[in-house]
Structure 1
């Protein structure tokens, strides 16, 4: 018996053939495959900010001399600063290492084996990846010919096993925006609704002000796009 076959006995059966997740191709992996020097490749596949982060950020990072000390688990100072930026009380804010981590944490909180997650496709691939990794079942609700979400179609897909609804707004990769009234219709189902506003700074559309009114609403934001902080 090969060593790999031996260790596979201990892996969750549903993950043995599980495919990984990769949202982009790094310039380094293209070396030798394209007739362009790595330093001349212009990446557009992951919606990264081509201009990079603010010089003030680089200066602050260079001046940070306590990287050997674990950070504040309560994220007290950061959440207070984000309170002013997002316009929501710090007690409603949780910071993480990218939206991917927060999506994973949310699914770990709500999803048990066989629970259903509603996903409006086509959309950000990490929702599928994280759902399956947590043992959940993805229920895909197709967008219409204009890539708009039908609130009635989403509600029709709800079952007794549904635990959460994912909605990217604006959507990635289509850029379409779901009107607030439609989002409110989903929130009114009583199910947890996660609205991913990774591109809020480019659209100006947000449901953050509703967080104080609805305990089942979660809103994601990120520094990876507008702020050029993808690492």
Structure 2
């Protein structure tokens, strides 16, 4: 069988639910969480946390003006349409120049030159949700890489060594020579003939797995 590091990983995942690597570790009971603070009305309406709303309000306040005619009832004041982009940047939200006209049309449809807090918060919340989704995807994939790596290293820090690959081969009942295992290490770390001695760190491991299509 052509046993490469990538194929070994795939085999390992298939066998992971059948092979017990260690006795299960007892986990301490998680402390009972306290009651969650009640969401503000705007936070609830826009599906964000109170902390996120506070962050948006703080950024809005950097540019807010009060006493503007026609906006006397706006408790948080209003910001100039020209300041919308800078206010979003203060929140870590990037809006391309080509997108800005559509953004302003949404926030200031009457072209008054001012934007109240509520519609600005709604727009910022949408962008924060999008950023959170991207971050979650990245975190999930990073966690997947770490978990796969630790399957090879037996839940220890790296690098993956010849001894680790021997253990995996035994667990999978694969008859693989040490020469083949060394070749796998050299292929992964790109260190040349004697590179197998240095093992494979998590970055090199992730690179090999991505090339093999194991991770997206």
More strand by share: 1
More helix by share: 2
User: Same fold, TM exceeding 0.5?
Assistant: no
Q: TM-score normalised to the size of structure 2?
A: 0.19
Q: TM-score normalised to the size of structure 1?
A: 0.18
Larger Rg: 2
